[in-house]
């Protein structure tokens, strides 16, 4: 078995960029939505502003330089090439941290946290806040390989991440994630591989498994209402990707505007923040036009719209098979959670404790949403420092 770790360099052929431009110049648009909000989906004005910026301002080579300024690697695990960024802190006793993006995200979401996490003394922190950072691309996403067989659910990914940390020589490390990354991190916590001593997540994965959540207090009622609203009016993409990923995959590979719209339509808070960035030029934090298009371009240029969607199908399958089983509790020294106010639902402490009876850290952040690390990297970093401080 080849367990070598190979350096990786991002280099998209010029023809691919030209071809993207050609498609963007030839878009055929539908008629405008009939409402003045997002209730029918991504608004035409938002998407046309995005495409205009993509065609005329966005520069993929700038993103590529940003990526290549970091140490990128690939290594084959369980038959799939896993891409990851690996930034070692100059502080030798830094805590190793594997941090996992979600959908529709990528390593692009996490780039802004590299400085604060690995070089805390330059970013308002202390040397003992330092992390060695590992940022993998999920199988089927970004520069990772696309699984050619079924079975790559979050449980298998969690196992691969433990293998990855072992190959990097880390014997004592922590894990973090939001969205799909939260599900992977949750699975790592329950699998408790040797060396893993703590997790932190910013989307409450156990709540997504279903089962009743407390609904007594105002805060709990509000969270219940948010989940109900999401399931009733925002669940289409989730269901389509969980059941028919190949069907939407054709569009996501063939049409950049289709891909952009599909990726923008994730959650209400992020959607309006992105709309503000493109239509009014007012980004929220680091969720800027260029950063958003870096992420969409990454999906386009790697042709991973279908394979990323398929990861939902895998998780749907795994969830159906495990429906009658109670997963083991997470009993690591640190189990941390941060609720960001713009997330799909603002998980109250009671919900988090239900999912993680051994919760050691809970906090409500002042700002930020679903893409917390991306939007508010400094605030996000401070959460990680605080959550993992008992391990120092």
Catalogue the active-site residues: 179, 312, 370
SS3 content of the chain, % helix, strand, coil (to 5): 50, 15, 35
69 near other proteins, rule: CB under 8 A: no
DSSP per residue over 53-84, as a string? HHHHT--HHHHHHHHHTS-EEEEEETTEEEEE
Of 74, 75, 307, 354, the one binding other proteins by CB under 8 A: 307
111 near other proteins, rule: CB under 8 A: no
52 near other proteins, rule: CB under 8 A: no
**Residue 176 to residues 121, 187, 358, 369, Cα–Cα distance (Å):** 21, 11, 16, 16
Report the residue number, 176 or 242, with the smaller CB distance to other proteins: 242
186 near other proteins, rule: CB under 8 A: no
Measured between alpha carbons, how far is 20 from 291 in angstroms, rounded to an integer? 18
250 near other proteins, rule: CB under 8 A: yes
Report the residue number, 197 or 261, with the smaller CB distance to other proteins: 261
Residue that is written with structure tokens 């059941």 in the block = 243
Of 4, 171, 228, 233, the one binding other proteins by CB under 8 A: 233
Report the residue number, 32 or 93, with the smaller CB distance to other proteins: 32
Report the residue number, 311 or 354, with the smaller CB distance to other proteins: 311
Interface with other proteins in residues 284-303 (CB under 8 A): 303
224 near other proteins, rule: CB under 8 A: no
CB of 379 to other proteins, least distance (A): 30
CB of 239 to other proteins, least distance (A): 4
Measured between alpha carbons, how far is 248 from 308 in angstroms, rounded to an integer? 11
Of 4, 40, 121, 331, the one binding other proteins by CB under 8 A: 40
- The alpha carbon of 381 is separated from its chain's Cα centroid by a whole number of angstroms, namely 15
Residues in CB range of 365: below 8 A, 6 or more apart: 338, 339, 340, 341, 372, 376, 379, 380, 383
The DSSP letter of residue 259 is H
Question: What angle do helix axes 14-25 and 289-302 make, rounded to 10 degrees?
Answer: 110
144 near other proteins, rule: CB under 8 A: no
The DSSP letter of residue 234 is S
Measured between alpha carbons, how far is 75 from 225 in angstroms, rounded to an integer? 43
The window from 93-101, 105-113, 244-252, 383-391 that contacts other proteins (CB under 8 A) reads 244-252
The DSSP letter of residue 217 is S
371 near other proteins, rule: CB under 8 A: no
Residues that bind other proteins (CB under 8 A): 23, 26-31, 33-35, 40-44, 47, 146-150, 233-237, 239-255, 257-258, 260-262, 264-265, 303, 305-307, 310, 313
């Amino acid at each position: 078995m080849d367990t070598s770790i190979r350096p990786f360099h991002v280099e998209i052929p010029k023809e691919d960029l030209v071809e993207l431009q050609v498609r963007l110049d030839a878009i055929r648009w539908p008629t405008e939505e009939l409402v003045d909000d997002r209730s029918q989906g991504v608004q035409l004005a938002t998407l046309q502003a995005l495409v205009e910026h993509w065609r005329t301002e966005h520069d993929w080579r700038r993103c590529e330089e940003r990526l290549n300024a970091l140490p990128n690697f690939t290594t084959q695990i369980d038959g799939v090439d896993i891409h990851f960024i690996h930034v070692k802190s100059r502080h030798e006793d830094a805590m190793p941290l594997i941090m996992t993006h979600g959908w529709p995200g990528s390593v692009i979401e996490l780039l802004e946290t590299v400085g604060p996490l690995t070089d805390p003394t330059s970013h308002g922190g202390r040397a003992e806040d330092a992390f060695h950072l590992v940022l993998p691309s999920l199988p089927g996403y970004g520069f990772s390989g696309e699984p050619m067989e079924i079975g790559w659910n979050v449980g298998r990914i969690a196992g691969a991440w433990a293998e990855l940390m072992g190959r990097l020589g880390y014997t004592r490390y922590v894990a973090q994630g939001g969205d799909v990354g939260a599900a992977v991190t949750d699975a790592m916590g329950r699998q408790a591989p040797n060396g893993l001593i703590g997790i932190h997540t910013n989307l409450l994965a156990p709540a997504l498994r279903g089962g009743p959540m407390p609904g007594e207090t105002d805060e709990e009622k509000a969270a219940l209402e948010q989940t109900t609203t999401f399931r009733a009016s925002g669940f289409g993409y989730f269901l389509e990707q969980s059941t028919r990923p190949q069907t939407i995959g054709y569009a996501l590979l063939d049409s950049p505007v289709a891909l952009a719209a599909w990726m923008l339509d994730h959650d209400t808070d992020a959607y309006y923040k992105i709309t503000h960035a493109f239509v009014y030029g007012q980004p929220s934090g680091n969720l800027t036009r260029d950063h958003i298009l870096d992420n969409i371009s990454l999906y386009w240029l790697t042709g991973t719209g279908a394979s990323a969607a398929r990861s939902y199908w895998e998780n749907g399958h795994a969830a159906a098979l495990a429906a009658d089983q109670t997963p083991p509790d997470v009993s690591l020294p640190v189990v941390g959670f941060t609720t960001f106010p713009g997330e799909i639902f603002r998980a109250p402490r009671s919900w988090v404790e239900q999912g993680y009876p051994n919760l050691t850290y809970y906090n409500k952040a002042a700002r930020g949403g679903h893409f917390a690390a991306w939007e508010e990297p400094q605030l996000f970093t401070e959460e990680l420092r605080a959550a993992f401080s008992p391990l120092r």
